[in-house]
Structure formats: C-alpha cells, structure tokens
Amino acid sequence: MSLYIVPVPIGNLGDITRRAVQVLESVDFVVAEDTRRSARLLMHLDIHKPVMSYYSPREKEKARAILKRLNRESAALISDSGTPIISDPGFLLVREAIAQGIPVVPLPGATAFVPALCVSGLPADRFLFVGFPPRRQGELERSLRSLAEVPYTLVFYESARRILALMTALSQTFGDRPYALARELTKRNESIVRGSLSRFAADMEGEPLLGEMVLVVGGCLSGPPMEGQVKLKNREDVLRLLEERFHLDRNVVRDAWMRKTSG
C-alpha cells in the first residue's frame, strides 16, 4: 500500500487543502506525533480513522509496527502542525518505507518557515533552513560560528522561552544584521517584528513572547564567494576574466582601458 505525507495547518484550520482532506478520508489509518492533538483536527474534519502514535524517543520501535501494517494498508503521516518531517519525527519511517518498496506520496501544504521567509523582507532566492538550534550554550555557540560566514538568509525555529537567548547569541557571534521574527503565524495573535540584531531588545519591548517562533536572519555579506563567483584583486584579474568568459582579446581591452583612464 502507500504512505502519504500530509501537511496540516499551522494554526488556521482553513489552510488545509482539499487533497489533504481527501487523503485523510481514504487511508486506513493515520500516523501522528500527538494523538490527542490529531484527534481534534480529525474531529473538526469529521474524519474517523484509527490513529497510531509516532514520536521521537520510540521512532524505531513505532516504525516497525507501522511498516507491518503498510504491507496491507495505507496510512497518512501527519505532524502536530505543518509539514511532517520538517523539524518533526518521520525521517526514519519514510526511509524504511522506501527501502521496503512501499510507495511514499508527498502532499504540498502548510509549513511555518516559508511564509515567515516570504514576509521577512530578506532575500529568499537562497536560504538555509537551520531548524531548532542546539539548546546547550557551548553547542549553540559552535553551531552559530559555523554559520557566521554563510552568505544566505538563515531561518531558525525556536521556542518563546529561548528566543531572546538565541538572539543574544546571534548578535554576539554575527554582529549587527537584519532580522524578522514571525510569531504565531496564521493565528489570531500573529505578529511580525523586523529590526536589527543590535537593537533586538528594544524591538522586542512590549511584544508578548508566546507561541511558536520563526526567526529569519540576514546572511553574511562579506562571507566566502558563492559557487561560480570569482574574486578580482587587480586589473589583470579583470582582463583575464573578460578573456576567459567573454572571449575578448586581452590586449584590445587593455588598450581601451588605458585610453579611458588616461583621457
């Protein structure tokens, strides 16, 4: 049979897709991280299916039981909110299903970091999704140092009680950069705070730090060159690049350059 990867709303229940509802209605059972939370969603949709729990401490054990059923039944993997596997359990189950030849069918849908990135006002053509950073201070510092020269926009998930500590560590490691903090996306108390890391304490003044957080931070503008970029140190480097990339005669370009600069 098949394993369907079914995104569920991150807040507003109206964000679930028609196809997601159709799949949840058609499968034999549902696999969920928190069965109580998923039961509320299924009740809202008037869908009545058996639900199996699948959570981090017992992923391997739970995966074996689910895979046995998948040999004769179909299932939908859902998360507490958003798209399964993105900073949530599910990777081991999907990997084993693929290894056993069980079809895995992904559905597009809600996830928190995409709307946060879109509304951040920061470049979204290239970005690095970091997810939840390490909790231990030493591991966090090492992780941020490894990201300090990444030239792409960075996207973090963090809890409300740790967000200020993360922003402090980012400011100390990265220096001053623009950021956008998206809180409670699609919910009643949704808010977007934009500012700079050097002033995050002032930016956060009066903001209730509750709910789910997505932090988007600008990339390093002086980091190592991206793939395909070339560092040009002097005039000869420029002439060589024009010759190699655009097949221009170096001597002709040099003469024109000299006439321009001398005239």
Same domain, 84 and 141: no
Q: Is 129 helix (H, G, I), strand (E, B) or coil?
A: strand
CATH number at residue 162: 3.30.950.10
For residue 260, name the pLDDT band (cuts at 50, 70, 90): low
Query: 230 pLDDT exceeds 80?
Result: no
- Note the pLDDT tens digit of each residue in 13-36: 999 999 999 999 999 999 998 889
Same domain, 101 and 7: yes
For residue 226, name the pLDDT band (cuts at 50, 70, 90): very low
223 inside domain: no
Last residue of a domain, one of 106, 139, 158: 106
- CA-wise closest residue to 128 among 109, 108, 158, 148: 148
- Whole-model pTM: value is 0.79
Query: What is the domain range of residue 208?
Result: 113-217
222 inside domain: no
37 inside domain: yes
d(CA 131, CA 151): 17
Query: 42 pLDDT exceeds 80?
Result: yes
Same domain, 79 and 146: no
Same domain, 86 and 154: no
Same domain, 175 and 118: yes
Judged on CB neighbours under 10 Å (0-12, 13-18, 19+), 22 is exposed
Query: 139 pLDDT exceeds 60?
Result: yes
What pLDDT score was predicted for residue 206? 78
Same domain, 158 and 248: no
Interhelix angle 59-70/91-99, nearest 10 degrees: 40
What pLDDT score was predicted for residue 21? 97
- Note the pLDDT tens digit of each residue in 87-125: 888 999 999 999 999 999 999 999 999 999 999 999 999
When divided into structural domains, the chain yields a total of: 3
146 inside domain: yes
Same domain, 28 and 98: yes
24 inside domain: yes
Let me know: does 210 contact 184? Beta carbons within 8 Å.
yes
Same domain, 7 and 100: yes
